[in-house]
Amino acid sequence: MGANSDKIYKELLLKYKRMSISKKELAKELGISQSSFNVRISKREGIPNFKKLGTAKNAKVIFNLLDVAEFLSETKQELACADSIKETNSQTTIALGSDTMNVADVIYNLSNNPEAKFKGWLTNPVQSVALQLNAKESDVQEKIKILIETGFVLKDMDTGFIGVTNLWWDLFSGCSSKKVLAKVESHV
């Protein structure tokens, strides 16, 4: 058990003063209705391990505090990561502008099209993006320049093809928000 789950376990033990809790109590801890919680139990998804007391369909279900603490610890880490990604995306969009982010998104989607001739690369980028966004080519060219300067997009000097970089991937996966924001702030 990690330090965070150990802390959660101690808090739950202090709160409930016993080693297991009911589904009603866990639903409350998760902030969901009992109905939603019952669906999770039936699917055995989005809940910690549990013990069913009896064989009847509606037999009582209990949750060991150790399992609950571990589950809540993992869930909180996932939520913190998701919040961090959302915050980074918002700050990046504010710093670079939504139009620039839209251009980057189109570059990503067009370059990863299964029918693309060169996987991961966008050929004829300015025209392709302008057509997709119904935008002026000069505006798209300006946004691509910003994306290259900030490191979100890479341009192959021999072919003129462009594609998104690892920094773009970092923006939408994992919790590498500090690296992304540092790069954006250095440009703004």
| pLDDT digits 0-9 by tens, 39-55 | 888 888 888 999 989 88
Q: What angle do CA 135, 86, 27 make, to 5 degrees?
A: 135
Looking at CATH, the fold of the domain delimited by 3-80 is given as: Arc Repressor Mutant, subunit A (1.10.10)
pLDDT for residue 79: 47
Query: pTM score, two decimals?
Result: 0.48
- The candidate with the shortest Cα–Cα distance to 75, out of 146, 178, 4, 151, is 4
Question: Residue range 26-40: average pLDDT?
Answer: 82
Which one has a higher pLDDT value, 138 or 79?
Answer: 138
Neighbours of 117 (CB within 10 A): 8
Q: How confident is the model at residue 87 (pLDDT cuts 50, 70, 90)?
A: low
Q: Burial, 64: exposed, middle or buried (Cβ in 10 Å; 0-12, 13-18, 19+)?
A: middle
CB-side exposure of 86: number of CA atoms within 13 Å? 6
Residue 181 has pLDDT above 60, yes or no: no
Domain pair 3-80 / 97-187, same fold:
yes
Residue 173: the pLDDT is: 54
Q: Is 159 exposed, middle or buried (0-12, 13-18, 19+ CB in 10 A)?
A: exposed
pLDDT of residue 31: 78
- The reported pLDDT for the residue numbered 65 is 92
Its CATH class, for the domain covering 97-187, is mainly alpha
Q: pLDDT tens for residues 89-110?
A: 566 665 677 888 888 888 888 8
CA dist 53 and 31 (Å) reads: 24
Q: How confident is the model at residue 176 (pLDDT cuts 50, 70, 90)?
A: very low
pLDDT score, position 92:
65
pLDDT digits (tens, 9 = 90+) for 59-73: 899 999 999 988 888
Q: Which residue has the higher pLDDT, 90 or 134?
A: 134
136, pLDDT greater than 90: yes
pLDDT in tens, 156-168: 888 889 988 887 7
Per-domain residue ranges for the chain?
3-80, 97-187
